[in-house]
Amino acid sequence: MNESQLETFLTVSECKSFSKAADVLNVTQPTVTSRIKSLEDILKCELFTRIGHEISLTEEGIIFTEYAKNILINMKHSKEIRNMIKTPVIKVGFSPGYSYSFIIELLKAVKSVGNIDVQVVDGYDSVSLNEKALLGEVDLVFTRDMLPNSPYITSEYLFDNHLVVVLPIDHHLCKKQTLAIEDLHGETILSYKRNSELWKSIDHQLISAGNITRIDVENNEMLLNAVANELGIGIIPELGIDKKYKSKIIIRDISALTSIPNKVYVQYRKNSQIEKLGKKLIYSVINHKYSGE
């Protein structure tokens, strides 16, 4: 059983066609057929049912799919051993919404471990980052969605990253200690990645505000800068607030927003090196969260 056989099996499974799989893999159809036949001989079972031009997985094929994916992931990880011994590279992924100061605190924790090269990955959303973790493309991720059970990934809940309202320091709503959605009537609302699942939940709550203007910006830094310059009101997770802006903005809660689930999970590959770093980063995150900085 080799890598090309497993990749061919998964490609045929996805394409539901030997000829289409051959095109994807840039090989001939007889090569695809030969690889599948060799794999079936090794496993002593048929992986596909063929009825005319229709191809589908057998029951054995369905069961083997998960094994094939995991074997390929382990093969990929095993090829990294030599490089990890020389100068380990840890790929750390963050879903959108974390402040620069939060990320810097984490990188300091990574650096303190010593003799590790770090690659930071800013994922489009939690779903895409979790997929990268399952595929072995990143070693450790901070996301808002917990991964399903995996024998290769450790998932730990850290805390809730509540949504808050960010106001310009002289805004008239700063006089109120607690706000309601209706208080946002007629305001300009700044958002970041409004097409995300989190913002869909926020938008659902904002319906009752009425007559609001929208500005969607590219990142947290731009959102906070816009609020500080009195261009509107921001809605953002607590850990998205960079501490350098805290003298220029006022933070308020709205119960309808703080009740929207927005948890922080850390998820990392199960090996001794990553687990050691994972625990150190967890302590760093908790300290950052509760330090009051």
CATH class for the region spanning 81-159+263-290 = alpha beta
Please state which CATH number belongs to domain 3-78: 1.10.10.10
**pLDDT confidence of residue 185:** 92
**pLDDT confidence of residue 168:** 92
What does the alpha-carbon distance between residue 129 and residue 156 come to, in Å, rounded to a whole number? 15
Name the residue type at position 4: S
pLDDT, tens digit only, all 293 positions of the chain: 788 888 988 998 888 888 888 999 899 988 988 988 988 889 898 898 887 777 889 888 898 988 888 888 877 767 666 555 545 577 888 777 677 777 777 777 666 666 666 777 776 677 778 888 777 788 888 888 777 777 778 888 878 888 999 999 989 999 888 899 999 999 999 888 777 778 888 888 988 888 888 888 878 888 888 999 999 889 888 888 887 888 889 999 898 888 888 888 888 877 766 777 667 767 766 665 666 54
**pLDDT confidence of residue 113:** 61
Q: What are phi and psi of 222, to 5 degrees?
A: -65, -40
Question: Model pTM greater than 0.85?
Answer: no
Name the residue type at position 143: T
- Would you say the C-alpha torsion 149, 153, 154, 157 has a positive or negative sign? negative
**Fold matches, 81-159+263-290 and 163-258:** yes
For residue 258, the 8-state DSSP code is: H
**pLDDT confidence of residue 80:** 62
**pLDDT confidence of residue 167:** 92
257 close to 163: Cβ distance less than 8 angstroms: yes
For residue 33, the 8-state DSSP code is: H
What does the alpha-carbon distance between residue 272 and residue 173 come to, in Å, rounded to a whole number? 50
Query: Mind giving me the DSSP string for 181-232?
Result: GGGGTT-EEEEESTTSHHHHHHHHHHTTT-S-EEEEESSHHHHHHHHHTTS-
Question: How many CA within 13 A on the CB side of residue 9?
Answer: 30
Strands (E), the chain: 48-51, 54-57, 89-94, 117-122, 140-143, 153-160, 163-168, 178-179, 188-192, 213-217, 233-237, 249-254, 263-269
Task: Classify domain 163-258 at the CATH superfamily level.
Answer: Periplasmic binding protein-like II (3.40.190.10)
Spans of all domains in the chain: 3-78, 81-159+263-290, 163-258
**pLDDT confidence of residue 50:** 80
